[in-house]
Structure 1
């Protein structure tokens, strides 16, 4: 592992604070009541997918599939009645678990799916979440954090090309 100097580590900490404060400000400006969903996207994408821009699609689709399935735990019983609604929800969960075991549809059924499904089925989330806002929160996280990564990658490539040109 690359050891970082305390000064450089402090600089990275300041950059993290600025990025997170920017997301919080954007979420507040957009009146997102479920901004946590964007942070959960960031947590998964940065820790599991190493914040690689090419891994945004699988992280995003998995997040939406997981959150959508979690939303069914509330929405299906309300629409179909408790028994049929919960049976539908549990059937879909079992299908997703089987799909992840079998390695089917990894762009849609992956660890992001399972993380969002798990968090979305926490009783407090089930009882209080505004699911539309959860989806907007995920989208905000994708656009904000993914957009920053794409911009940073483009700047890094431009700097690398310029440095290569200077070397000859």
Structure 2
């Protein structure tokens, strides 16, 4: 069974462009090329592409995937352990962000203890948010819930000009 690049991509739920990119990066090579330049892939290439897609779904970089595909044993285990530890760190960071947001939400429920912009920034920084994290948070909030983002910014006592600037970030 030989597959074209489009058929191969469909088998793995990927785009043709993605398969071509993996080829450019040296992760995948066609089994052969026809006289007219068409790429043809066999079962071995299909299995390799499925492995690449699975590793990408785990969040591994292409460099790490290349190493995983080319080496066996201890190197693979080290890469997977390192990636696992990185994911654990990201999860801890996200949990602290959740806790900070929950603290703000709990504080904002009590109207006589209104959260200000300065207090909000302080809470976010205490939870480990960097300026870039806060910027990304605002972008996502604006993208997903623009009306609620507007109300939230107003609840912090921020003036209209600054709200407009924040919403355009």
TM-score scaled by structure 1?
0.32
Q: Which has the larger radius of gyration?
A: 2
TM-score scaled by structure 2?
0.32
More helix by share: 1
Structure with bigger RCO (C-alpha 8 Å, 6+ apart): 1
